[in-house]
Amino acid sequence: MHLTEAILLGLALAMDCFTVSLTSGTIAKRVVARPMLAMTVLFGLFQGGMVAGGWFVSSLFSRILEPIDHWIAFGLLAFIGVQMIREGFRKEEEQKFNPFDYKVILTLAVATSIDAMAVGVSMAFMGLDTWASISMPVGVIALLSSLLTLAGLAAGILAGRKIPFPTAPIGGIILIGIGVKIIIEHLS
């Protein structure tokens, strides 16, 4: 996987982190250093860890599914992309919760990284069959997730609750685009 692809994939996956942290920042409206640091680190670790976990489990079975691997990768990325687009256009119900409670942070880290596991599965089917081939994308995804979490927190605190920013649909479109690219590469 090229660095450009890893960056685009990392940005797409980090859109959930950005959106959740933006919302958390708008709710808090102030800097709370330790929980914000925990959120920034955990979101990145879970995104990268889930990609690596999905890749590891599925890489054990990639030889069996090699003839259809590009269709599996496309299907997973398209499915996740469509889900992200749909979620981005749903109305959020306002809930009163403390986004900086450590249990909430951990729950949000898991929730924002579930799609990363499916991306890890698709990477195994893309021919990334060694730890050396997966380590760069995992690192990029983890780093970008942490950076966009921090950016989301800062933007949320500064801008308040009323920003209509469609980050999840943009991430979904990027994932679908990567899936289409995989199909085109394998069919040509």
Instruction: Name the residue among 80, 46, 70, 58 with its Cα closest to residue 126.
Output: 70
For residues 179 and 155, which has the higher predicted lDDT (pLDDT)? Answer: 155
The phi, psi pair for 77, rounded to 5°, reads -65, -40
Domain boundaries, the chain: 3-187
How many angstroms separate the CA atoms of 47 and 5, rounded? 16
How many angstroms separate the CA atoms of 55 and 32, rounded? 35
Residue 95 has pLDDT above 50, yes or no: no
Question: For 107-153, what is each residue's pLDDT tens digit?
Answer: 888 888 877 888 888 888 787 878 888 999 999 999 999 999 999 99
Instruction: Name the residue among 165, 122, 168, 139 with its Cα closest to residue 49.
Output: 139
